[in-house]
Amino acid sequence: MKLFVFMLPIILLVSCSQRIKVPINRFHSPEVVGGGANIEYRQVGFSQGVLNFDDNSTENPLTMSTTSDDEFYLGAGLSPSVDLFVRVPEESSSLIGLKVQLMGGNTQDAALGHKLAFTIGMGSERDSFDSTFEIELKSDVTDYSLVHGYRFHPNFLLYEGISISNYSFEGRVVGTTGLDSDQIDYEARNILGAHIGAVLGGHSFQLKAEWGAQKIEWTHTESKLFQHFGLALAASW
């Protein structure tokens, strides 16, 4: 836990700015650390919404696409079945939350068989960035997932899961005239996610590969379906 407290400010500095981005990949396996801590470096897919100021309006549909960026994850075992975690994606909203394992052995045990866990996370941030104009933005996030897996071998685990998230971004356009409003307000509720992945390696070092899908609908914007394949490296102690 001392290491977690020491590293948390360093990791949070990585998320120095935020955009209207929502992660597609999760990389949540159904096993908790079970004591100690773990850190992960991830290449994550995101759905990305770009602000559109056509006709001097701040209520246009977002221009949607996918992108791939870094994410850092730090987990600390609070008990043999509960982890405290922090997810810090590049240019998106950070989350702090809990992962609770309901079935099967944790990562240290590496016991074969079925695993089941759920996660709950939340975050709130303020930031500013330059787009067409200077934007001041505040984000609020809640995120929930349920993950099942099966460990076939001490060094091989398959997992799959579903998630539901809520993202809201509120802000204003700074120092400009000519727009019909200086206020920005976009919300995506009940974002549905699904993922399937594999974990290779033992407790000390792991490679994760994951395919994720996401259905998302922002304010003023039609519903979109995205998918992405991502990779992660994890170390535990």
Q: Which residue has the higher pLDDT, 3 or 67?
A: 67
* Alpha-carbon distances, residue 222 vs 32, 63, 92, 214, 226 (angstroms): 37, 10, 21, 14, 13
* Alpha-carbon distances, residue 142 vs 1, 48, 200 (angstroms): 24, 18, 29
Are β-strands 183-200 and 156-174 bridged in parallel, bridged antiparallel, or unpaired? antiparallel
Quick one: tokens of 152? 């076939």
Delineate the domains of the chain, giving CATH numbers in brackets. 2-13+20-236 (2.40.128)
For residue 221, the 8-state DSSP code is: S
**Given this model, what pLDDT does residue 180 score?**
84
- 66-104 pLDDT, tens digit each: 999 999 999 999 999 999 999 999 888 899 999 999 999
Question: Please, which residues have CB within 8 angstroms of residue 223's CB and are 6 or more apart in sequence?
Answer: 215, 216, 217
- 103-152 pLDDT, tens digit each: 999 998 889 999 999 999 999 887 776 666 778 888 899 999 999 999 99
Q: How many residues does the chain have?
A: 237
Q: Which of 27-31, 50-54, 78-82 has the lowest mean pLDDT?
A: 50-54
